[in-house]
Amino acid sequence: MKQRVYVGMSGGVDSSVSAALLLEQGYDVTGVYMKNWSRDLPGMQCPWAEDLADAKRVAVQLGIDFKVFDFEKEYRDKVVDYMLDEYRAGRTPNPDIMCNQEVKFRLFVDTALADGADLIATGHYARVRYSTQASLLTAKDKNKDQTYFLYRVTSGALAKTLFPLGDFTKPEVRDMAKKRNLWTAHKKESMGVCFVGNVGMREFLSEYITTHPGDIIEKESGKKLGRHDGAIFYTLGQRHGLNVGGGLPYYVVGKDMDKNEVYVSRNIHDEAMWRTEVPLSNIHWIGAAPANGEKVQARLRHRGALLAATLDGDILHLVSGERAVAPGQSAVLYRGEECLGGGIVVSASESSLSLS
């Protein structure tokens, strides 16, 4: 009997090719569009209806069943509210990571299995090694690898997941879509907020958080250099968008959310800009935790370099200092091609966050 797979179809080329490949491999495939967000923003129409239509067209082309799962309330509660709370606190969260943890690989998995699926699949560029315990491996296409966004997924969810694109590069996927004449073969990728569309984070935040102008202050002298339109819009290490001074560039080296002040410096070597010890909270391991002192590699942002490191409890020790490690970002750890898990970067003064 064929295994029944529910494929998350976003209306993009990656999930379209994933569905086509699984069908060709002999699975009983059902396409599922996750309706996570439908609200328009001023001057920006949410693309959900267009994406849904594109996903439906591909499902019709492939001759597979198609369903819509409405997760909009859960997405707002678990992803958007979390993101807004983090920005209000002055941190820099990653909503895509939370979406994977709470929606795609928890809610979608549970709903699909309850609906009769044996497995789920998505168009992520990643691989799973199935053994006694499922583990997460990096994709063949290192430029497109998405394990950074998947590090909070559980081994149990991975055991029920297929990543059909893990062994292909993005150009190969495009070619496969064209050869199959899929509707989405030439569709451009969305570069905006997860599930919201091509809208920048500043525009999105402005709709939900009331901001006030404040001072931009030079750290060393205390001199007021200019004004900002909201401290939440600035992150550690930021250089552009400050509009202060001439000559050498200024960098954001800190901010005070209570005072609504942003602190800058021309000193690229400012101690606030460089970290060799990175405290982590809400650490999540897909399998067994690495041993204390074990040599691992750490990635502190998507497509960031893999950095030599060791872990001592909840402190990540980087062999070489890393610039602009902002609280709220994720530090993801690897052992070779295996993604082990990771945690949320915190400042030394922060109490632990709750993401469970």
Catalytic residue annotation: 99, 194
Residue 253 CA: distances (Å) to CA of 235, 242, 247, 321: 8, 12, 18, 15
Q: Which two tokens stand for residue 318?
A: 């980087």
Residue 141: phi and psi, rounded to 5, are -80, 95
Residue 18: phi and psi, rounded to 5, are -60, -45
Q: Which two tokens stand for residue 325?
A: 């490690």
Cβ neighbours for 140, distance < 8 A, ≥ 6 positions apart? 127, 166, 167, 168, 169
Q: Amino acid identity, residue 134?
A: A
Residue 82: CB atoms within 10 Å: 20
Whether 103 and 71 have beta carbons less than 8 Å apart is answered as: yes
Query: Which run of H or E residues covers position 22?
Result: helix 13-24
Q: Amino acid identity, residue 123?
A: G
Alpha helices in 195-244 (DSSP H): 201-208
Q: Amino acid identity, residue 20?
A: A
Q: Amino acid identity, residue 54?
A: D
Whether 235 and 300 have beta carbons less than 8 Å apart is answered as: no
Of 257, 276, 269, 285, nearest to 321 (Cα)?
276
Whether 238 and 272 have beta carbons less than 8 Å apart is answered as: no
> 67 forms bridges with which residues in the sheet?
32
Residue 63: CB atoms within 10 Å: 8
Task: DSSP letter for 132, please.
Answer: S
